[in-house]
Amino acid sequence: MIEILQMGFIKNAVVAITFGSILCGIIGSYVVVNRITFLAGGVAHASFGGVGLAFFLNTPVLLTTFIFSLVASAIIGLLTIKDNDKMDTVVGILWSSGMALGIILLDLTPGYKGNLMGYLFGSILSVSNGDLLFMAISTLVVILSVIVFYRNLMIMSFDREFAAVKGIPVGFFHVLVLILIGFALVILIRVSGLILVIALLSIPPAISSKFTKSFFSMIIFSIVINLVLGFSGLYFSYYFNISSGASIIMLLSILYCIVVLSEKTYKYFKKYNENSLDKS
Amino acid sequence: MASNINIIDIKNLYFSYDHECVLENINLKVHKGDFLAILGPNGGGKTTLLKIILGLIKPDRGKISVFGTNPGKENSKIGYVPQYSYINRNFPLSVLETVLMGIQKKIFFSFNYTKDDVKLAKDVLARVDMQEYCSKQIHNLSGGQRQRVMLARAMVSDPELIILDEPTSNVDPYGTFCFFSFLEELNKEKTIIIVSHNVNIIATKVNSVACVNKFLYYNSEPVLTKNMLEILYGMHDEHSCSLGKYFTDDFKYMAKSESKSDD
């Protein structure tokens, strides 16, 4: 175990997972509570256009994708401020057109395209020191914005109408949350890739929402789940020589199934006991 | 009780969604100390009127002043109890935290509540008789209990006007009775507006009533007038209420379609 940690790229991977866990815990809780998983997925997939753009213009991939995903999330945010019937169509179109743009730009780029699969499904072992700095900055930005706006984000998530009456700029915060998703994406591209991001954002808060009683504890539990399963996933991927992102997500999914099944069993037996008590 | 100070003053107000007129020539005055019921069928424009009063949407034409200024400017003087269906049922939140939301705070760095805030919230919860539920989850309460917590959230900022949107739609009859007797108490110090599609609430202690269905009829006594009954029970104009007229309309329509098919 110790000797694994002494390898430089593993060290970077561990730091990346730590940043990713914190971000996913915070952003994911907002995503799950506000039921905007689909919007988050839209932002993530549309960001593939950024990967294509980076190869086409020969610019740094992470930075270009970051800027592209911020723009994409702002557009999706602005178009979905009013929760109208066409929202899912709009997001669906942006979702796929972003990916299509990425593919076209890649087609137009001559020469070797590098490890494209890495951007789609994650390549945590290739995190560079420069990437780490970038991740640290985005984590800091997300944590700061949540601390500054915590109460408003909370009121808005619980009850938009009331928030609007209280004079909270609901539209601004709606876009802000999506832009923060854009920030989180930069880190998560390395950890899990663009396609698997939704799992990291949605599974841990979904698990913690089963037993937490406040939004703050939901965030903290999600971060803990992310950290524990992130490191175990990394260990499994090293041990069995499989992709790290996929192994983390498989672990999360298995944990989710176990939690849901035990919840159902618990409820069933509780009901059964109550019924048998009534009869006796 | 009712004095001459107008809290809300609406004159010749019009509003339409996509060229379809929802509110037409609305006139309404709400005085300090009023207990007004705004009744109307679903889709009649009650919620739209409410949103205009709260400054969430702008009217097409007409004048409206709330606390003597434009709507939305003085919302700290309004305690708002929204419909339960607007509330995010996914959000984990305790009763105490729900009430704390109502305390007016600055937008930035408002992470923590002070001891005074918590004490204030607990006092208000005690007024609505919910103090022992402080740490319970808001979603695990009964409809009536939840509504009392939502009322406490509106009251915690000590507003002058309390607006309730369909407050008893999820509440059992006994809970509704308790809720209204509390509102009656509250009306001694605050102006109250209730919006509902349920005509039964005029049997409570409301002191004036307005019916909205595109048009608005106001009565300064808690009694429904003939005009009100007409707009409450569907858009039946006098002529369309008579069976004969329906028939003649049908025949006209048939005649038209026949002449068209002839072409």
Residue B69 has pLDDT above 70, yes or no: yes
Residue B3 has pLDDT above 50, yes or no: no
Distance CA A12, CA A15 (A): 5
pLDDT value for B242? 54
SS3 label, residue B20: strand
CA distances from A201 to A30, A111, A252, B93, B158 (A): 9, 34, 11, 21, 39
Residue A219 has pLDDT above 90, yes or no: yes
The DSSP output letter for B6 is E
pLDDT > 90: percent of chain A: 33
Bridge partner residues of B217 (DSSP): B211
pLDDT value for B263? 42
Order of strands, edge to edge, in the sheet holding B191-196?
B78-81, B161-165, B191-196, B35-39, B208-213, B215-219
CA distances from B169 to B38, B40, B80 (A): 15, 14, 16
How far apart, in Å, do the first and last CA atoms of chain A sit?
A: 56
Contact B107 A149 (CB under 8 A): yes
- The residue-averaged pLDDT of A215-223 equals 93
Name every chain B residue with its beta carbon within 8 A of the beta carbon of A149.
107-108
pLDDT value for B110? 60
Residue B179 has pLDDT above 90, yes or no: no
What contacts A34, CB < 8 A, 6 or more positions away? A157, A177, B88, B90
pLDDT for A237-279, tens place per residue?
Answer: 888 988 888 899 999 999 999 999 999 998 888 888 888 777 6
Distance CA B26, CA B10 (A): 7
Distance CA B29, CA B23 (A): 16
Query: Is B97 near chain A, with CB under 8 Å?
Result: yes
How near does any CA of chain B get to the CA of A170, in Å?
11
Helix (H) or strand (E) holding A157: helix A129-158
Q: How confident is the model at residue A227 (pLDDT cuts 50, 70, 90)?
A: very high
pLDDT for B47-60, tens place per residue?
Answer: 888 889 998 888 88
pLDDT value for A93? 92
pLDDT for B9-57, tens place per residue?
Answer: 888 888 888 888 888 888 888 888 888 888 888 878 888 888 899 988 8
pLDDT for B114-150, tens place per residue?
Answer: 888 888 888 988 888 888 888 888 888 888 888 889 9
pLDDT for A122-149, tens place per residue?
Answer: 888 888 888 888 889 989 999 999 888 8
From B92-106, B149-163, B210-224, the region with the lowest mean pLDDT: B210-224
Residue B242: CB atoms within 10 A of its CB come to 12
Distance CA B142, CA A222 (A): 29
pLDDT value for B234? 54
Phi, psi of A234 (to 5 degrees): -60, -40
pLDDT value for B258? 47
Q: Which residue has the higher pLDDT, A154 or B227?
A: A154
How near does any CA of chain A get to the CA of B146, in Å?
14
Phi, psi of A267 (to 5 degrees): -65, -40
Could you tell me the maximum CA-CA distance found in chain B, to the nearest angstrom? 81
Closest CA to A20 of A127, A120, A151: A127
Q: Could you tell me the two tokens for A144?
A: 């700061």
Query: Is A56 near chain B, with CB under 8 Å?
Result: no
Distance CA B84, CA B98 (A): 13
Q: How confident is the model at residue B111 (pLDDT cuts 50, 70, 90)?
A: low
Query: Is A165 near chain B, with CB under 8 Å?
Result: yes
Residue B248 has pLDDT above 50, yes or no: no
List the single residue in A149, A155, A159 with the smallest CB-CB distance to B86: A159
Residue B53 and residue B45 in contact, taking contact as beta carbons nearer than 8 Å: no
How far apart, in Å, do the first and last CA atoms of chain B sit?
A: 68
Contact A158 B54 (CB under 8 A): no
Distance CA B165, CA A41 (A): 35
pLDDT for A45-87, tens place per residue?
Answer: 999 999 999 999 988 888 899 899 999 889 888 888 876 667 7
pLDDT for A165-204, tens place per residue?
Answer: 888 888 899 899 989 988 888 778 888 888 888 899 999 9
Distance CA A33, CA A20 (A): 19
Mean pLDDT of all residues in chain B? Answer: 79
Name every chain A residue with its beta carbon within 8 A of the beta carbon of B153.
162
Residue B256 has pLDDT above 60, yes or no: no
